[in-house]
Amino acid sequence: MNIPFRSRAALPGETGRFVMFVSGAVLLLAVLPILTMIVMSFSGASNLDFPPSSFSLQWYEAAWRTFVSPDASDVLSLGQALGTSLLVACLSMVLATLIAVPAAYALTRCEFRGKAVALQLMSLPLVFPMVVLGLALLLVFDSLPFHMDTSRLVIAHVILALPFVVKNCTAAMVSIGTEVEEAALMLGAPPLRAIIDVVVPLMRSGILAGMLLAFIVSFNEFTVTYFLYNIDVMTVPIWMYSRTVSSLDPTVFSFAVLIVLIDFALIWALEKLVGDGGVSF
């Protein structure tokens, strides 16, 4: 009696060949643009032909010269734009964290009218169209009686990064029982001292993960920043965009490799924090 062929059922934890193939194809599509960019950054040609006919470090040398001082097509050097990006990202990270920690505590520990609405409003920047948000912020800042340069970029980036920081801090707060605060209060600590000395250290992994996410979001933000920057205050994404508009050459890929390396280091650190602390985002 012939038994028809049946494929072996996958055991729990095993993946079939089709799933592995689809996963590999998706991963390849995600990595392919980055690999193409890296290859093009080593091109020895004077144009953007792919694959390059020769390889050289000439565009990295040109990128270093542009990093130090602007060329004829640029107003600011990449070093100045990078300094602005780092300043805005650091300020946005700190301010978003200072707002998110008490907000996460209130959303977790306190019951108040409008709590559900507050949660929805906190997540609104995640789904709000970036073009509309940038235009709205531009109208608001231009209507003020005083001029703002870097500070309006910081405010905009705090708005964009705040949901990520609040989510991580809230996830960390959920795992902290109220008994730790009650024990601190029974030992004579004031309520604020109990929060600062007991609760905040236990939130460390969530706070650090949220800070890294805020830095990454701010450092790579383009759409909203495009509406708010000026010629003297320019972040790295805006600087790279302005260079591609004026003169598209492989130097741009050399700059992009630097940004990818920075983002990779930050994401690796974030994954270590998430893996060790169990914070979701």
Task: Work out the average pLDDT over 93-103.
Answer: 91
CA distance 107 to 213: 20
For residue 188, give the DSSP letter. Answer: T
Of 168, 163, 134, 145, which Cα lies nearest the Cα of 237?
A: 134
CA distance 19 to 39: 29
- What is the phi/psi pair of residue 149, to 5°? -110, -90
Per-residue pLDDT tens for 242-252?
777 766 666 77
pLDDT of 158 > 90? The answer is yes
Cβ pair 149, 233 in contact under 8 A: yes
pLDDT at 149: 80
Of the chain, the end-to-end C-alpha distance in Å amounts to: 56
pLDDT at 274: 65
Per-residue pLDDT tens for 17-75?
777 888 888 888 877 877 777 777 777 666 666 777 777 777 777 777 776 666 555 55
Per-residue pLDDT tens for 197-240?
888 888 888 888 888 889 989 998 888 998 888 877 888 888 88
Q: Is 101 left (phi over 0), alpha (psi -120 to 50) or beta?
A: alpha
pLDDT at 69: 63
pLDDT at 16: 65
pLDDT of 170 > 80? The answer is yes
Helix, strand, coil % in the chain, rounded to nearest 5: 70, 0, 30
* Block residue for tokens 């920047």: 125
pLDDT at 91: 94
pTM of the model: 0.78
- For the chain, the structural domain boundaries read 83-277
Q: Is 188 left (phi over 0), alpha (psi -120 to 50) or beta?
A: left
Cβ pair 228, 137 in contact under 8 A: yes
Going by CATH, does the domain composed of 83-277 fall within 1.10.10.10? no
